[in-house]
Structure 1
Amino acid sequence: MYNNILAEKNGQIQLITINRPAQLNALNKETIEELSQAIQAAEQDTTVGVIILTGSGEKSFVAGADIKEFAHFTIAEGGELAQKGQQTLFDLVENLSKPVIAAVNGFALGGGLELAMSAHIRVASSNARVGLPEVSLGVIPGYGGTQRLAQLVGKGKANELVFTAGMIKADEALTWGLVNHVVEPEELMAKATEIAEKILANSGAAIASAIRSINAGFKDGVNGYETEILEFGKCFGTADFKEGTTAFIEKRKPNFRG
């Protein structure tokens, strides 16, 4: 079905693996499009509650964008590349109604780190290396990297990482707040799955509301508090709210159906 990714469902967890090991899983146009299709399919699948993104092999999550594809681009073509990429994949992931966990195995550079940052939660293997090396090529991060990095680690650290085109190790990324957890490589998928299963115990409808509310606080011209009030109120009209409150009163585990 796909040329550059693998999609496998385990219960309510959709695992999507970028599968270009010979290219260290670099993102070309086709891979971005396939990821977009697979993620949208998972969102529409009512039996999927959480998506895990990872890379094939042990060396790389995504080593960056495929530079050969755009080395000859004009100003207009470069702008279109960034705009289309953001709309097709990176903004899609961030605003998805279902949580996306990035299981970062190895290098997450350039577009790879941008993809990880667009996910809602990041788990890294201890051998992971992350960075935005774009200025060493005479360009800047174009898939949301300048914005999401500053949101996650603050302006000063974002400036340093972007301006130096450097890489940081997983433990430093954890200290910076860039990743949520660091585990040994052999424990990476187990940790991502453990987090996914904890999420799956809760209301999918409420989590979708929480994603919209949290994201609202980082959008220009949007009042996050007002969005929270609106989403909080909407929860009262869901079957999950009725089930959750009834289960609490009846002292049993809820059976959420979304």
Structure 2
Amino acid sequence: MSNPYVNFSVSEHVGTIEFYHPSHNSLPSDLLKKLQNAILDADKDPGVKVIVLKSGGDRTFCAGASFDEIKQIQTPEEGLAFFSGFANVINAMRRCSKFILVRAQGKAVGGGVGILAAADYCVATQHASIKLSELSIGIGPFVIAPAIERKIGVGALSQLSMDCKNFYSAEWCLGKGLYSECFEDVKDMDHTLEKLAKSLSSYHTDAMASMKRALWSGTEHWDNLLIERAKTSGELVLSETTKNFLNKF
């Protein structure tokens, strides 16, 4: 595989969204927009009762933002537009009326951790460690922080944010509640994921939609909050400190 993509398919009322980028499944703006649209399409599709979100390849789940694209940001407006991509994906996941099951086969960094946190149910392998590296380059995980805090608490978010050069194990993620289940290998993970998706696809659609609204209660202000956070990141990325680091990367 060499070309980036976002694919959406439906089988037996399970909608599967898969994204891929050859650079460790990083997410540039165009891929983020396609991912957002795929989630919106799956939500509107009457043939879909549950959604599985995963990435291609057998190693990294998602390396987060595209550093190549971040380097090109020259104005606060461009910064806001870029970081709003992650805000829009997380908000699409939050507003979606259907449960979203996320599959993590490997490591996640930055924005990738935000996608894991926005899952309604997340399964992972023992190789799916995570890291929030944003502070080390002069910005912060502002856009994704609300999703992560909601899932694992402010204490764990603080730990990840400040200890920003180290990966935290899948076992740590399981203990904090980021992962619902963790497996030794992909085969066992996929078997469990398929079984869960099949079960959910047989349940009452309205009941699941009501349950999802209840689970996400109190996040209605995120439409504005995440965009404000994107504005903060878009301004900080223009600092001399951040620019110097990115030029060395």
**TM-score, length-scaled by structure 2:** 0.81
Aligned to 2:209: 208
Read off the aligned partner of 1:217 and give its amino acid letter. G
- After TM superposition, give the deviation of residue 218 of structure 1 in Å: 4.2
- Residues of 2 paired with 1:23 and 1:78: CA distance? 21
- After TM superposition, give the deviation of residue 29 of structure 1 in Å: 0.8
- After TM superposition, give the deviation of residue 131 of structure 1 in Å: 1.9
Do the aligned residues in 2 keep the contact of 1:4 with 1:30 (CA within 8 Å)? no
- After TM superposition, give the deviation of residue 51 of structure 1 in Å: 0.9
Residues 49-102 of structure 1: CA distance to partner in whole angstroms, max 9, x if unpaired? Answer: 111111111111111110111224233432333235312x11001110011111
Aligned to 1:179: 179
Q: CA RMSD in A?
A: 1.9
Q: Is there any run of 5+ residues in structure 1 with no aligned partner, and where?
A: 222-258
Aligned to 2:57: 57
Moved more, 130-139 or 90-99: 130-139
- After TM superposition, give the deviation of residue 188 of structure 1 in Å: 2.0
**Structure 2 residue 168 is the aligned partner of structure 1 residue 162:** no
- Residues of 1 paired with 2:191 and 2:94: CA distance? 23
Do the aligned residues in 2 keep the contact of 1:126 with 1:185 (CA within 8 Å)? no
**Structure 2 residue 106 is the aligned partner of structure 1 residue 110:** no
**TM-score, length-scaled by structure 1:** 0.78
Matches within 5 A, 1:56-205: 56-73=56-73, 74-87=75-88, 89-142=89-142, 144-165=143-164, 166-183=166-183, 184-205=185-206
- After TM superposition, give the deviation of residue 219 of structure 1 in Å: 4.7
Secondary structure of the structure 1 residue equivalent to 2:58: coil
Percent pairwise identity: 23
Residues 30-63 of structure 1: CA distance to partner in whole angstroms, max 9, x if unpaired? Answer: 1111112222221111111111111111111111
Structure of higher CA gyration radius: 1
Aligned to 2:236: none
- After TM superposition, give the deviation of residue 146 of structure 1 in Å: 1.4
- Residues of 1 paired with 2:64 and 2:41: CA distance? 24
Read off the aligned partner of 1:11 and give its amino acid letter. E
**Structure 2 residue 17 is the aligned partner of structure 1 residue 19:** no
- Residues of 2 paired with 1:150 and 1:182: CA distance? 20
Secondary structure of the structure 2 residue equivalent to 1:205: helix
Do the aligned residues in 1 keep the contact of 2:87 with 2:144 (CA within 8 Å)? no
1:84 and 1:27, CA in 2 relative to 1: closer, same or farther beyond 3 A? closer
Secondary structure of the structure 1 residue equivalent to 2:98: coil
Read off the aligned partner of 1:126 and give its amino acid letter. Q
- After TM superposition, give the deviation of residue 168 of structure 1 in Å: 0.9
- Residues of 2 paired with 1:139 and 1:188: CA distance? 34
* Structure 1 runs of 4+ with >4 Å offset: 218-221
Residues 118-168 of structure 1: CA distance to partner in whole angstroms, max 9, x if unpaired? Answer: 1211111111111211111111124x3211212211111110101111321
- Residues of 2 paired with 1:26 and 1:218: CA distance? 26
Higher relative contact order (CA 8 A, sep 6+): 2
- Residues of 1 paired with 2:218 and 2:8: CA distance? 32
Do the aligned residues in 1 keep the contact of 2:33 with 2:85 (CA within 8 Å)? no
Do the aligned residues in 1 keep the contact of 2:29 with 2:82 (CA within 8 Å)? no
Read off the aligned partner of 1:201 and give its amino acid letter. S
Moved more, 50-59 or 65-74: 65-74
- Residues of 2 paired with 1:61 and 1:109: CA distance? 9
Aligned to 2:229: none
